Amino acid sequence: MKKKVKVGLIFGGRSAEHAISLNSAAAIYQHLDKERYEPFLIYINRAGEWCLTGNISFNEQELKKESFNSFMPWSSRLAETVDADIYFPVLHGPNGEDGRIQGLFEMAGKPFVGAGSFSSQLAMDKVAAKMLFAQAGLQQAPFLFFTENNPEQIGELVAKKLGFPVFVKPSSLGSSVGIRKARETGELLAAADLAFSYDIKIIIEKAIDMREIEVSVMGNEEIMVSSPGELLPAKEFYDYADKYLDGKTRFRIPVRLGEEIEARVKKTAHKAYRSLFLNGFARVDLFLEKESDAILVNEINTIPGFTAISMFPKLWEAQGISFAQLLDRLIAYGFAHFRNRRENVDEGLGH
Ligand SMILES: Nc1ncnc2c1ncn2[C@@H]1O[C@H](COP(=O)(O)OP(=O)(O)OP(=O)(O)O)[C@@H](O)[C@H]1O
Ligand SMILES: [Mg+2]
């Protein structure tokens, strides 16, 4: 019998998306082909402590009770935890999707699933990502960014360069945390205060009258782009409660936009993925501007929601790639990227 591949699933984590991570990890665990893979479950609690668990309920209360194996800081835990063949960080948002844990695997010389640390950081930082999207010639909502909370300057520049309404966002957070729509200067300055309470850089974008289109992308040197899906938000904008609490958001998977628009959507997503030097997989979020039919890039999520009903796996399923097959591919991309990097970069540099 062939030896099973040990996959270290890492989930939970210190982010607002802790609970979603548990759902994503549960779905991934459930769909992993146990004939081929031996999953190891590494749970990170909200305090950032790591625990190797055998608990497959993926229930936070249950996980908290782990007594046979107490929580430890990551540094001691990673060294003595299972020596997995490949790690799969199933962590959404800061401290998981933002390149930090990816850097840890790179330091440890371990293969892992998904984007490397540098691309993950670029994707997490809206200002950095927007600059690279612009450089790649991609269209996006007109924006300004600020590193200083100077109300006079913000008010003046926004009125002059963007006009209202605008969206005000912390540069790197996710889950719509700290994001507000502002219709006039008073709201703008309050929204800037809020965004600055979360981050040292904020981004202000012109509000676009649009349809929210998302596509799944995967691959390293050669990449595949799925057909698009659409988000149909229940409220005025897709906020945290909408996404995760009310469960009111509806998806249209796949969405028929007509050949010409679909081709542009795919081309844009392909370019956007390349422009952040991505590998592994990602979900690219786009705006289809209603008035012009222009495709604008909004953002790239390098560890998108991965529950059985999430957009990322559902879009592949619509193309005939099952959840289990998707996991096979993502793991294979992780190994391939690792080998390629080792052969061409690390050894080339004599490391
Ligand atoms: N420029 C814009 N014009 C219109 N709507 C916008 C704009 N920017 C953001 N939105 C709305 O706000 C939502 C959240 O914005 P965005 O995706 O940038 O934030 P996020 O916190 O990174 O979210 P995610 O949970 O997807 O990581 C979008 O899905 C969209 O509904
Ligand atoms: Mg988003």
CATH of the domain at 199: 3.30.1490.20
**Is 200 found in the same domain as 91?**
no
Q: Based on the fold, state whether residues 232 and 332 are members of the same structural domain.
A: yes
CA of 304 to the centre of ligand 2 (A): 10
Kindly report the CA angle at 128 between 126 and 131, in degrees rounded to 5? Answer: 105
pLDDT level of residue 15 (50, 70, 90 thresholds): confident
116 assigned to some structural domain: no
Give the pLDDT band of residue 239 (cuts 50, 70, 90).
low
Write out residues with Cβ below 6 Å of ligand 1.
141, 167, 169, 173-176, 179, 205, 207-208, 212, 233, 237-238, 285, 298-299, 301
Nearest ligand 1 atom to the CA of 166 is 1
pLDDT computed for residue 55 by the predictor: 87
Does the pLDDT of residue 246 top 70, yes or no?
Answer: no
Total tally of structural domains belonging to the chain = 3
What kind and span of H or E run contains 74? helix 74-80
Q: 325 and 216: one domain? A: yes
In a mutational test of the pocket of ligand 1, which residue from 238, 286, 290, 295 has the highest number of ligand atoms less than 8 Å from its CB?
238
| 61 and 151 inside one domain | no
Mean pLDDT score, 217-240: 85
| Residue ranges making up the domain that contains 298 | 209-339
Of 176, 232, 240, 250, the residue with max ligand 1 atoms within 8 A of its CB, to mutate for a pocket test, comes to 176
pLDDT at 351 over 50: no
Task: Give the confidence band of 350 by pLDDT, cuts at 50, 70, 90.
Answer: very low
Do both 232 and 331 map to the same domain? yes
Which is the closest atom of ligand 1 to the Cα of 233?
31
- Average pLDDT of the residues in 261-268: 98
The pLDDT-based confidence of 177 (bands split at 50, 70, 90) is: confident
Write the pLDDT tens digit of every residue in 110-154: 999 999 999 999 999 999 999 999 999 999 999 999 999 999 999
Q: What is the DSSP letter of 4?
A: P
215 & 335 share domain: yes
pLDDT for res 243: 55
Tokens found for residue 130: 């927007």
Segments of the chain assigned E as strands: 5-12, 37-44, 50-53, 86-90, 143-146, 166-170, 180-182, 202-206, 210-219, 223-225, 229-232, 250-252, 281-289, 295-301
User: How high does pLDDT run on average in the chain?
Assistant: 91
pTM of the model as a whole: 0.93
86 and 176 share one domain: no
Q: In this structure, are 213 and 321 located in the same domain?
A: yes
